[in-house]
Amino acid sequence: MTTSANWPLLEADNVSVTFPVSGGLPGTGRRVHAVNGVTLKIHAGETLGLVGESGSGKSTLGRALLQLERVTAGEVRFDGYRITHGLKSDVARLRLQTAMIFQDPFASLNPCQTIGDSIAEVLRVHRKVPRSGVHARVAELLTLVGLRPEQAKSRPGQLSGGQCQRAGIARALAIEPRLIVADECVAALDVSIQGQIVNLLMELREKMGLAILFIAHDLAIVRRLCDRVAVMYLGRIVEEGPSETVFTQPRCPYAQVQCRTGALPPTRQIADHAYSCVLTHTGDETVFPKTRRSFDEAQAC
């Protein structure tokens, strides 16, 4: 199935991810909802920013979309094919066309391997080039992300954080993905290096037509890089829309607080009225209003 201009490349429909709560009474089966009924779409060639305070479920959602976390309920579709509870061949298709860039550039690379070997391993496993062409392709990928081909012989500990993150991006590009999930990929880097990595992602998006799910807490970077933005709170999408609209005319009071401050402070530091339209209380139960959607926009208030 080929993705048309209007057909989502990746689609989540009412997706939930839960984890068991340890330490509870035996047989209670208590679970925590890390992601709760999320619906969103990512189109080919676009960048969707996913923002929210720590613990809001951003990273769990990103991993679940790539089937790195088990989806408890709902459905994920890639290029029109059902991935959750679908055929193994459809899951394999997802694996071959998606990649992830992780937050910690050192932890995401094998310290015992050179970065050239890390990239070459991906090329060999996925049979992207003949064995005789692996060395040349590694050099091409390193050059593409702004590293020198001779740095293929370096181990992660011999490189800076920014260089390691570039190597991680090169490894992600080795499978020629259509979608990349970038999970806080600049958070661990110095401010000057953050800008370089963001510029690189923008260039790669233009050159390769990549779709990117950019998970971050730095709203300035998200505003610069992303076409659309989705705001998460307690595992749910509370606002979604074009980047400039969300940042200049946020409708949900929770999103308004975030965009005014330009940061994502902890819940306890935000005035209660910011949540008045997002949460209602019935006895001991906290209730979310139903999210209203219109095309690629959403609002939960």
| Side chain identity, residue 81 | Y
Which position has the higher pLDDT, 204 or 279? 204
Paired tokens of 89? 């061949």
Which residues lie below 8 Å from residue 223, measured CB to CB, with a gap of 6+? Answer: 49, 229, 243, 244, 247
Q: Output DSSP code: residue 6.
A: S
Residue 125 inside a domain? The answer is yes
- Asked if the model's pLDDT at residue 105 lies above 70, the reply is yes
Domain around 94: 10-21+29-299
Q: How confident is the model at residue 237 (pLDDT cuts 50, 70, 90)?
A: very high
Residue 4 inside a domain? The answer is no
Which position has the higher pLDDT, 253 or 265? 253
Mean pLDDT of 240-253: 87
Percent over 90 (pLDDT), the chain: 55
CATH assignment at residue 34: 3.40.50.300
Residue 1 inside a domain? The answer is no
- Asked if the model's pLDDT at residue 54 lies above 80, the reply is yes
Residue 169 inside a domain? The answer is yes
Q: How confident is the model at residue 4 (pLDDT cuts 50, 70, 90)?
A: very low
| pLDDT value, residue 291 | 61
Residue 111 inside a domain? The answer is yes
When divided into structural domains, the chain yields a total of: 1
Residue 120 inside a domain? The answer is yes
| pLDDT value, residue 99 | 94
Neighbours of 242 (CB within 10 A): 15
Q: Chain-centre distance of CA 80, in angstroms?
A: 19
- Asked if the model's pLDDT at residue 235 lies above 60, the reply is yes
Residue 34 inside a domain? The answer is yes
Residue 5 inside a domain? The answer is no
d(CA 116, CA 103): 20
